[in-house]
Amino acid sequence: MPLPARRPSKSDKVKQAYVCHPHRQWVRGFACCGCGEMPGNKVNPIQAAHVRLGTSGGMGLTPADRWVVSLCMKCHLHTQHQKGERTFWARLGVDPKAKATEFARKSPHWLKLRDMP
């Protein structure tokens, strides 16, 4: 038996304000910022990975979509779930917040992204 209808809460509206699915799709069209893997690999697909360091995210809190970068599935898992984000980006010599900002500013969806925290 399905659940009855639910009235949207304020937090539902906040979450929607931080999401931009077209931007995520656009980011997935780029090579991996970690290893250079190109889009189109079905075994190791490119994902829009959220950067948490110095952004609106944190433990258990996904940052706004203005803070995404392109990472293949292997680098994404290695980054946030095994070695840690700070270690991963330090080894690459990349500032992830600057990289996410570059993606956002060059995105065709910048007008929606620029007001996100």
pLDDT value for 117 = 80
58 confidence band (pLDDT: 50, 70, 90): low
pLDDT tens column, 5-36: 777 665 554 456 689 999 999 999 999 999 99
- What's the Cα-to-Cα distance from 44 to each of 10, 17, 74, rounded to whole Å? 37, 30, 7
Domain extents in the chain: 20-112
| Predicted confidence (pLDDT) at residue 59 exceeds the cutoff of 70 | no
Q: What is the pTM of this model?
A: 0.81
pLDDT tens profile 64-116: 999 999 999 999 998 767 888 889 999 999 999 999 999 999 999 998 998 88
Q: How many Å apart are CA 114 and CA 43, to the nearest integer?
A: 33
> Could you give the percent of the chain with pLDDT greater than 70?
86
Q: Are the CB atoms for 47 and 73 separated by under 8 Å? A: yes
